Amino acid sequence: MTIANSTKPHTQPTILTGLRVNSEMTLGNFLGALLPMVRLANAHSDQYHVNIFVPDLHSIISEIDGNLQQNLLKSLKYFLAAGLNLNPNIHFYRQSRVPAHSELCWILNCVATMGELNRMTQYKDKSEGKDSVNVGIFDYPVLMAADILLYDAEFVPVGEDQFQHLELARRLAQRFNHRFGDLFTLPAEPKDQAKFMNVDHGIRIRDLQNPEKKMSKSTASANSKIMLSDDPKAAAKKIMSATTDSLGKIQYDMFNQPGISNLLQIEALVNDQPLQDVISTWAGETHYGDLKQKVAASVSTFLDDFQRKLATISDAEILDLLTTGETYANAIANRKLAAVQTAFGLR
Ligand code: TYM
């Protein structure tokens, strides 16, 4: 692969995403970020570099369930099990194996302000009620900005909960470019990211028992979340027991009917159907049980197929992909880092 000799080293633009591997992933992670990435990669990897990386340095800000190395390999297998078609434009790497991420994070720390990091909702949530919070949790969005800006990534498929961090990456890039010239490509605005992902708005899969909240790995109740390792029949039962409402209308209204809207959203994403089509199919229907049965069947068929494919992918295949991907990532990232260091007078 030829890499042009300039601070904008890509001959092709980049789509990039990362998923933390602190534990097993939920259907929310899958539908919000992983599956959109797979669909974008399959549609565009002839024109875009597609960077899929494991933010393992982001993982160590909090507890890790299980073995980080095994979680990491499994998370990359998920992309293949979800149908990612491999080709030389797709790059797998580990954040910690590309030291330029940490280096750029430090430089961006000198451009970001305490005030803007204090406003990050995830930081507020993660630190609420704690006597002591590690600096990594506070600084996490700056490392995420480094992950994105090092590769001039234009599109970053993430769930809606990460949009505030994306905005921060844009702001830091703008501030940096204003001061030092046009070094970083700005990632697209969240609304354009959603358009590129072919969705009306950012994706936020809701907690099945408490649909005001997002589905999260850290929620204690097993019925609130579907894990990718769930037995497909058990997952179907969780959908059947999802909290809805008493309005008796099947319509998409996240404000008044978050439970029903969540089921419509899951149905659309799992079957790769436009949300509007699913909404139209159910318009005028009133039996929530019918909708639940349909979504339960879709989710259990999906999990069954996904888990079957997952079992066929070996660690060796992923390790091979990481070896090639990390050579590529280090070449791109080091070149960008050198340009930034030069701008700051460090070289
Ligand atoms: P993380 O590991 O918390 O979540 C991984 C991805 O899953 C999405 N997600 C959801 N989407 C829809 N509905 C939900 N209920 C739901 N729960 C989680 C998240 O939005 C995310 O896209 N900071 C990131 C990881 C990261 C990253 C990056 C991502 C580090 N550097 C650079 C993109 C680019 C994180 O902690 O996501």
Give pLDDT, residue 4.
35
Ligand 1 centroid, distance to 290 Cα (angstroms): 31
Residue whose Cα lies nearest atom 30 of ligand 1: it is 144
Ligand 1 centroid, distance to 181 Cα (angstroms): 30
Give pLDDT, residue 7.
38
List the CATH code of the domain at 222-309. Answer: 1.10.240.10
Name the residues annotated as catalytic.
126, 214, 217
Whole-number average pLDDT of the chain: 94
pLDDT tens track for 174-189: 999 999 999 999 999 9
> CATH 3.40.50.620 occupies which residues in the chain?
14-203+314-343
Ligand 1 centroid, distance to 120 Cα (angstroms): 14
Is any ligand 1 atom within 6 A of the Cβ of residue 10? Answer: no
Across the beta sheet with 90-94, what order do the strands follow? Answer: 90-94, 49-54, 14-18, 153-155
Q: Residue 19 pLDDT more than 60?
A: yes
Is any ligand 1 atom within 6 A of the Cβ of residue 141? Answer: no
Contacts of 13 (CB under 8 A, 6+ apart): 47, 48, 49, 152, 154, 155, 185
Looking at the domain 14-203+314-343, which fold is it? Answer: Rossmann fold (3.40.50)
> CATH 1.10.240.10 occupies which residues in the chain?
222-309
Q: What is the mean pLDDT of residues 34-42?
A: 96
Give pLDDT, residue 12.
78
pLDDT tens track for 115-146: 999 999 999 998 899 989 999 999 999 999 99
Q: Which of 53, 64, 162 to mutate to test the pocket of ligand 1 (most atoms within 8 A of CB)?
A: 162
Is any ligand 1 atom within 6 A of the Cβ of residue 204? Answer: yes
Q: Is 174 helix (H, G, I), strand (E, B) or coil?
A: helix
Ligand 1 centroid, distance to 238 Cα (angstroms): 23
Residue whose Cα lies nearest atom 26 of ligand 1: it is 18
Give pLDDT, residue 200.
80
The verdict on pTM exceeding 0.85 is yes
Note the helical H segments in the chain: 27-29, 35-44, 56-59, 68-81, 100-109, 114-118, 121-127, 135-149, 163-180, 190-196, 232-240, 258-270, 275-282, 288-310, 315-343
d(CA 31, CA 203): 8
Q: Residue 197 pLDDT more than 60?
A: yes
> Do 178 and 168 meet the contact criterion of CB atoms below 8 Å apart?
no
Give pLDDT, residue 11.
56
Top-confidence residue, 47 or 10: 47
d(CA 223, CA 226): 7
Give pLDDT, residue 44.
96
Give residue 168's pLDDT band: very low, low, confident or very high (50, 70, 90).
very high
CA dihedral 91→94→100→101, nearest 10 degrees, is 100
User: Which atom of ligand 1 is closest in space to residue 147's alpha carbon?
Assistant: 32
Give residue 199's pLDDT band: very low, low, confident or very high (50, 70, 90).
confident
Q: Residue 330 pLDDT more than 90?
A: yes
